[in-house]
Amino acid sequence: MMLRTSDVFVSRNGSLYCEDVALADIAAQAGTPCYVYSSRGVMNRFRAYDEALEGFPHLIC
């Protein structure tokens, strides 16, 4: 069974994935705790802010 909790983090058969990479694999290589960011997720949020501010002078850093 696949459970979609966001557009980048997905649960498949009891394992959590980020952009099709198993977080268990990342934890095995990097150790824990570790922070995992999705480039697609960051860009999606950036675009949402940028579009929401369209028409207003803004700078997103």
Residue boundaries of the structural domains of the chain: 2-52
Tokens of 2: 């696949």
Enter the tokens of residue 23: 């977080």
User: Is the model's pLDDT at 60 over the cut of 90?
Assistant: no
The answer to whether residue 2 scores a pLDDT higher than 60 is no
Averaged pLDDT of the chain: 90
Dihedral angle sign, alpha carbons of residues 38, 41, 45, 50: positive
Q: What is the mean pLDDT of residues 39-48?
A: 92
| Spatial separation of the C-alpha atoms in residues 9 and 38, rounded to whole Å | 8
- Band of pLDDT at residue 18, cut at 50, 70 and 90: very high
Q: Indicate the pTM of the whole model.
A: 0.70
Asked if 13 and 1 touch (Cβ cutoff 8 Å), the reply is: yes
Mean pLDDT of 45-59: 94
Q: How many other β-carbons are positioned within 10 Å of the β-carbon of residue 19?
A: 13
